Amino acid sequence: MPENKELEFQEKYDAKHSLEYFRKHQRGLRRRLTTWAERRMLRKALAMMGDPGSVLDIPCGAGRFWTVLAERPDRRILAADYSADMIETARRFQPPELVARVETFQASAFDIKLPDAAVEAIVCIRLIHHIGQTEDRRRMLAEFHRVAAHTVCLSCWVDGNLQARRRKRLEARRPKRKYQNRFVFERDTIEREIREAGFDILGHIDLLPGISMWRMYVLRKRAA
Ligand SMILES: C[S@@+](CC[C@H](N)C(=O)[O-])C[C@H]1O[C@@H](n2cnc3c(N)ncnc32)[C@H](O)[C@@H]1O
């Protein structure tokens, strides 16, 4: 197990939770539609990234995006997660021919344990919205900047849409929790942090423009 203990939630994905995460995304029309739409977003993001020949999927979770990454037959696919149980779940439940294409390893997004510029691109879906502290986000983006040679795809929750406004109203009404697990970022703030980390924003893709909080940013390392 990696030593960094940056996020309380990162300890949550033991074998039981990992299996639940895998099953949850297979259940119900809404979740299956969301996965379908997120895969479509990733396809667009990969095109914006110039169809990279090597990609690190971190956190890979139960491998929801491996099928999209494998659409380029000669792509080298690396996949990492903080949770060994999550990786095991992905390897167990994704189709064997897909699993055979993917090099998996355990790692924290704060300390990836690959050499500098080891992959052309990094795909980071559904992690940064768990990171409430600017300093932690900065460290993670710095690690992505070190490991990706060219581009990064980063999904997060942003404001400026119906879902974010609804969530804000809900949070104002309910009692403050001791530990907040997920965060909606102001677009200006997250975009400033991305630029400060040494990336240009090539573009973004919204799940449902004006309605959903989910956004994928496509980043390119700024020339030194
Ligand atoms: C919500 S899941 C997203 C997984 C996948 N990207 C997806 O969208 O299906 C969050 C994942 O982040 C992993 N995780 C938590 N903290 C992490 C960290 N510091 N570094 C890498 N992975 C982490 C968890 O183990 C879990 O698999």
pTM: 0.93
pLDDT in tens, 68-108: 999 999 999 999 999 999 999 999 999 999 999 999 999 99
Written as one letter, the residue type at 211 is I
Counting atoms of ligand 1 from 1, which one is nearest the CA of 18?
A: 27
CA distances from 9 to 14, 44, 117 (A): 11, 29, 28
Confidence of residue 10 (pLDDT cuts 50, 70, 90): confident
Residue nearest to atom 12 of ligand 1 (CA): 59
3-state helix, strand, coil in the chain (%, to 5): 40, 25, 35
Mutate which of 82, 152, 156 for ligand 1 pocket (most atoms within 8 A of beta carbon): 82
Calculate mean pLDDT across residues 135-159: 98
Nearest-angstrom CA–CA distance, 74 and 23: 29
The full set of domain ranges for the chain reads 8-221
* CB contact set of 93 (below 8 Å; sequence gap of 6+): 22, 62, 63
What pLDDT, in 10s, does the model give residues 109-142? 999 999 999 999 999 999 999 999 999 999 999 9
Ligand 1 nearest-atom number relative to CA 110: 19
Amino acid type, 1: M
8-221 folds as: Rossmann fold (3.40.50)
pLDDT of 179 reads 65
Q: Does residue 168 register a pLDDT over 80?
A: yes
